[in-house]
């Protein structure tokens, strides 16, 4: 069983973090120095949990609902050419800013801001867009934070209480502000207000539906791993707001989602948590050593 756990944990980590994952992990967790967030902070609890697999899927699906955000991805990144590479870069950024030193976090944030400045283009109607637009960044941030928190409260090993949820949103706002989001939400109530304010701008474009279809049907995984991916995808879809289902051509099966999908999602996150347990312990030891240096 130990060998199976180690092998499965390694495969999961490699898929999410990329081939450079082990080196990045050692750098992020093993480098001495002050961090943006304490080890017992809410953002560390949420971002270290296996529920992030489902939260990440939900965040990607929800973000496609903003036409400008979707156009920027389609023009400059895409899902087809480098789906797992894009996931690895995103997961590395989250890891650096959540667990890494202040210096490393600031370097990562600066690098992303420079990339955003270069991501420019034109919508089909001729309207220009730029990824560094604070309004567009606010949507990406709100969709991510809402997705990560909802997934954690649904599938996390230790869900947060109401005060903890507010604390998580406030801590995520620290990084959002450094990325260029103006006045990011710092409570759950404010987060919901931001999401509701975006509703008139949202809609599923052909690019969005194509991206969602590709993510669901073409995960670029070995056949043996696709059922597990399908469970995580189903769990992510089940957490999507009802009003997104028809525009994105996603199913809405409330009874099945509350029973079968929830049970399978719980089993899947539990399995991931079990498989990556040894790696989590290694990370804790590195963080303790780094803090005492």
Token pair for residue 218? 């073409």
The answer, yes or no, to whether residue 4 has pLDDT greater than 80, is no
Q: Is-contact 152 160, C-beta < 8 A?
A: yes
Angle at 202 between CA 198 and CA 208, to 5 degrees: 140
Can you give the pLDDT at residue 65?
A: 97
The answer, yes or no, to whether residue 115 has pLDDT greater than 60, is yes
Can you give the pLDDT at residue 44?
A: 96
- Summarised one tens digit per residue, pLDDT across range 133-180 is 999 999 999 999 999 999 999 999 999 999 999 999 999 999 999 999
- Summarised one tens digit per residue, pLDDT across range 251-266 is 988 888 889 999 999 9
| Distance from C-alpha of 232 to C-alpha of 228, rounded to nearest angstrom | 6
Query: Could you state, in order of their start, the residue ranges of all structural domains in the chain?
Result: 2-292
Can you give the pLDDT at residue 8?
A: 47
Q: How far is CA 71 from CA 74, 80, 116, 121, 209, in A?
A: 5, 14, 14, 8, 12
* Angle (deg, nearest 10), helices 188-198 and 134-155: 120
User: Running DSSP on this structure, what letter comes out for residue 223?
Assistant: G
The answer to whether the Cα torsion of 208, 211, 217, 223 is positive or negative is negative
- Summarised one tens digit per residue, pLDDT across range 167-203 is 999 999 999 999 999 999 999 999 999 999 999 999 9
The answer, yes or no, to whether residue 280 has pLDDT greater than 60, is no
The answer, yes or no, to whether residue 6 has pLDDT greater than 60, is no
Can you give the pLDDT at residue 2?
A: 44
The answer, yes or no, to whether residue 11 has pLDDT greater than 70, is no
Return mean pLDDT, the chain. Answer: 87
| Distance from C-alpha of 84 to C-alpha of 289, rounded to nearest angstrom | 31
The answer, yes or no, to whether residue 278 has pLDDT greater than 70, is no
- Which residues sit opposite 121 in a β-bridge? 129
Q: Which residue has the tokens 């590479």?
A: 85
| Distance from C-alpha of 26 to C-alpha of 286, rounded to nearest angstrom | 8
pLDDT class for 282, splitting at 50, 70, 90? low
- Summarised one tens digit per residue, pLDDT across range 43-54 is 999 999 999 999
Q: Which residues contact 91 (CB under 8 A, 6 or more apart)?
A: 16, 17, 56
- Summarised one tens digit per residue, pLDDT across range 68-95 is 999 998 888 756 656 666 777 888 999 9
Q: Is-contact 131 116, C-beta < 8 A?
A: yes
14-32 mean pLDDT: 74
Q: How far is CA 204 from CA 36, 181, 210, in A?
A: 36, 24, 10
Q: Is-contact 150 239, C-beta < 8 A?
A: yes
């Amino acid at each position: 069983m130990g060998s199976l756990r180690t092998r499965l944990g390694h495969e999961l980590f490699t898929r999410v973090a990329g081939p450079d994952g082990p080196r990045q992990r050692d750098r992020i967790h093993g480098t001495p120095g002050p961090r943006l967030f304490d080890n017992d902070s809410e953002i560390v609890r949420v971002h270290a949990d296996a529920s992030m697999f489902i939260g990440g899927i939900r965040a990607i699906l929800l973000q496609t609902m903003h036409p400008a955000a979707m156009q920027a991805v389609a023009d400059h990144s895409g899902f087809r050419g480098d789906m797992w590479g894009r996931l690895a870069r995103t997961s590395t950024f989250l890891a650096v800013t959540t667990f890494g030193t202040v210096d490393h976090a600031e370097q990562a944030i600066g690098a992303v801001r420079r990339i955003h400045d270069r991501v420019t283009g034109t919508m089909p109607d001729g309207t220009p867009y730029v990824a560094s637009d604070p309004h567009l960044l606010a949507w990406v941030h709100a969709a991510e934070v809402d997705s990560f928190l909802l997934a954690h409260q649904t599938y996390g090993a230790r869900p947060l209480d109401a005060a903890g949820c507010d604390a998580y949103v406030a801590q995520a706002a620290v990084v959002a502000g450094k990325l260029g989001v103006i006045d990011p939400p710092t409570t759950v109530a404010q987060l919901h207000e931001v999401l509701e304010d975006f509703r008139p701008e949202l809609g599923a474009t052909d690019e969005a539906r194509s991206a969602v279809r590709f993510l669901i049907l073409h995960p670029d995984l070995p056949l043996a791993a696709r059922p597990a991916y399908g469970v995580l995808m189903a769990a992510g879809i089940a957490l999507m707001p009802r009003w997104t289902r028809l525009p994105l051509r996603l199913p809405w099966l409330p009874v099945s989602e509350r029973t079968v999908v929830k049970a399978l999602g719980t089993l899947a996150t539990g399995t991931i948590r079990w498989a990556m347990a040894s790696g989590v312990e290694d990370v804790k030891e590195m963080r303790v050593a780094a803090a005492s240096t």
